[in-house]
Every structure is written in structure tokens, then in C-alpha cells.
Amino acid sequence: MFSYSTEDQKRVDDRLDVVWSAVATIDEIIHPCVVTNISTAGALMKLNQNLEEGVQFLLNVESLDEYAASVVWANRPYYGLKLLVGRDLKLKDHADKIGLKSGATTFSE
């Protein structure tokens, strides 16, 4: 589902729900996770690990790309991420290109 930011939220961009398999590499340990929504240079990740705000790690989204990410908020098992470095940080633009406009969608090629 496509969700719009409201005035009381800190969000800058609107969100697009997805279901993308990924792995988070934190302190050289690989953890399976799921990206559940995306925005421009941001993502919501579900991960069954304890992470603090400010933690930086590598996020490899299956069949897409690897990104350096930083935790901007934490409410385990959900984490709001800012994407810092990657080939194309505009994940929402990528989703638009492959035809994802609304609804939770699984990424596969």
C-alpha cells in the first residue's frame, strides 16, 4: 500500500509497501531480514536482532543491490533506515520502474 506522510510525522517522503528479502551484515555477521517498505533513500526493515539508533551496517537487498545503512529509529523487530551509500539510493524510483505502484509486493526477477 502506498502511504502518504502526515503533518505530525517526521517523514519527508511517502512510503511504498514491499516484501523484499535481504541480509544485514552487522559486525561481520550476516542476519536474514525483510525490507517491508521503501521511500527515497530510506527503508523499513524487519530484523530479529537488537540494534541501537545510529548503528551502521551493510544491507544487501536480494537481486537488487547492497547499501550502507544507518538506523534512524528502532522498535524491534522494526527499524527505520537511512540509506547512505549504494548504486541507486532511490528505491522508490526503482519500484516505480518495475511497476510497483501500490500494495505489498514481492521483489523477484
pLDDT digits (tens, 9 = 90+) for 34-83: 999 988 778 999 999 999 999 999 999 987 888 899 999 999 999 999 98
Q: Would you tell me which CATH number, out of the four given (1.10.1760.20, 3.30.70.20, 3.30.70.1560, 2.40.10.220), belongs to the domain 13-89? A: 2.40.10.220
Q: What is the DSSP letter of 88?
A: -
- Range 86-98 average pLDDT: 61
Give percent above pLDDT 70 in the chain: 66
- Rounded to two decimals, the pTM is 0.73
Q: Which of 93, 49, 45 is nearest to 72 (CA)?
A: 45
Q: Which cell numbers hold the place of 85?
A: 551509500
- Please, which pLDDT band fits residue 5 given cuts at 50, 70 and 90? very low
pLDDT value for 64: 80
* Exposure letters 46-62 (e unless 16+ CB within 10 A, then b): ebeeebeeebebbbbbe
- Range 94-108 average pLDDT: 52
Sign of the CA dihedral 10, 12, 18, 24?
negative
pLDDT value for 95: 62
